[in-house]
Amino acid sequence: MGMSAGHAPVHLTVAERHELGRSARTRLPRSSLADYVAAQDRPDPVALLQTQATTRVAELVPIRYGRMLASPLSFYRGAAMIMASDLASGPHTGQQVQLCGDAHLSNFGLFASPERNLVFDVNDFDETLPGPWEWDVKRLLASLAVAGHSNGFDASACEQVVRAGAEGYRLRMLALAEMRVLDLCYEQTCVNDAFVASVDPTFGHQIRRTAAKARSRSHLQALAQLTRLVDGRRRLASDPPLLVSIDELVGKAQAHAHQQHTGVLIGTYIQSLDAARRMLISRFRYEGMARKVVGVGSVGTRVWIVLMLGRDEDDPLLLQVKEAQPSVLEFYLSPSTYGNAAERVVVGQRLMQATGDILLGWLHAVGPDGHEGDYYVRQLRDWKGSADVESMSPTVLADHGRSCGEVLARAHARTGDRIAIAAYLGKGDRADRALAQFAATYAQQNARDYEALRAAVTAGRVAAENNL
């Protein structure tokens, strides 16, 4: 079921593109967006997770399972491959965009733009790949349903939350379909006083709290939390197994040998940046690195924190160097056209985000542990923040879901035919209702898969490490 990247057919008129979208309703009626029936030959969900474990750091895999067992929503965050398998078993619209690939609600958040504005956007692209737009939408809406159940909402409240997310996507896509191309390019969601004033006061209060916390998450905060001064020199601190310096991980001799090679690695990375960013990086010197455990779904992939210093010990740059593996979507769609998996991630991020990290880049390297792989590089903390979903009321979660739907629509509009997608969705709520039904059904599937992992741990089939 190979697919190519989605591009607006610019040789068609607006009317022809509109008709292209409406004709997709014949291929997949909007009511069919509701359909989810587990395939008779549906793979064992635990077995799918185990296939991913074969390429990860074995000692960290139990941490992944432990974090997934924290709640059905935590499980969902780590189950992108399972859902990709389920989505691939059914029909699709055939309307292509650059997919996030893992568009659950916790992969939307706040970060700083190069102009030092706080913006809200999709912020995780490990699984990005071209594919049908509704796969991302279904992943987002099902996460809202799972979150609603986890928060104790009744069925009616869960439906209203999911409908808000679906409506946010549809109405925003309709508005984007009317925009000029350059206006779309410049469109972004700045979290400022005007934005807060435009939403429900309760949601606005939540945004202000999240924004204040995000602005405190800077390089200087990370420096205080993750490093120590040792004999007058700044060093990354260890907190095994979540943060382990390379000295402790591979020994001082091998760590020293790797340090001699860092100039070559940094040189490879900066080739993926433009000239101005290369000049910026050249003003920092390498000071050390450590292996870090991050997230839920990414646990077990190799993630390195690199400490670099500029003018002095209090002028830090902390980079996250994260291993990129094939997207889970590549098992069900066309393989990536990029030979380097990290380049796939970086290009997908640049395509989908309205603005992004000025130091985002990639390389292929042998890490200090001897593992050779593809890695993408970004700043560790630059005003990054995410909403506390578990504490949200139905009204606030609905508003948050609507915001996620709106920015996902913008990301898709940047790479797909926004006029055709808008025409398919239409001005009525038929698609919203169908997608909400899908989300409710898939939340039940996720609950069963969560219990399957719990049973596998109880039976000793897989090991899980809790509280890490």
Q: How far apart are CA 65 and CA 61, in angstroms?
A: 7
pLDDT in tens, 385-424: 888 999 999 999 999 999 999 999 999 999 999 999 999 9
* Residue 204 burial by Cβ neighbours in a 10 Å radius (0-12, 13-18, 19+): middle
Q: In 343-435, which ranges are E strands?
A: 361-366, 372-379
What's the Cα-to-Cα distance from 126 to each of 19, 137, 324, rounded to whole Å? 34, 17, 7
> Residue 7 — pLDDT band, cuts 50, 70, 90?
low
pLDDT in tens, 228-246: 888 888 889 899 999 999 9
Residues in the chain: 468
Helix (H) or strand (E) holding 236: strand 233-236
> Is pLDDT above 50 for 254?
yes
> Residue 10 — pLDDT band, cuts 50, 70, 90?
low
Q: How far apart are CA 226 and CA 76, in angstroms?
A: 29
Are 21 and 420 in contact by the 8 Å Cβ rule? The answer is yes
**pLDDT score for 301:** 95
Helix (H) or strand (E) holding 245: strand 243-245
Neighbours of 285 (CB within 10 A): 13
At 371, list the tokens. Answer: 């593992």
Which residue's entry shows tokens 């709640």?
Answer: 71
**pLDDT score for 3:** 41
**pLDDT score for 9:** 54
Full-model pTM:
0.94
SS3 content of the chain, % helix, strand, coil (to 5): 50, 15, 35
Q: How far apart are CA 152 and CA 22, in angstroms?
A: 38
Are 271 and 277 in contact by the 8 Å Cβ rule? The answer is no
Q: How far apart are CA 378 and CA 139, in angstroms?
A: 25
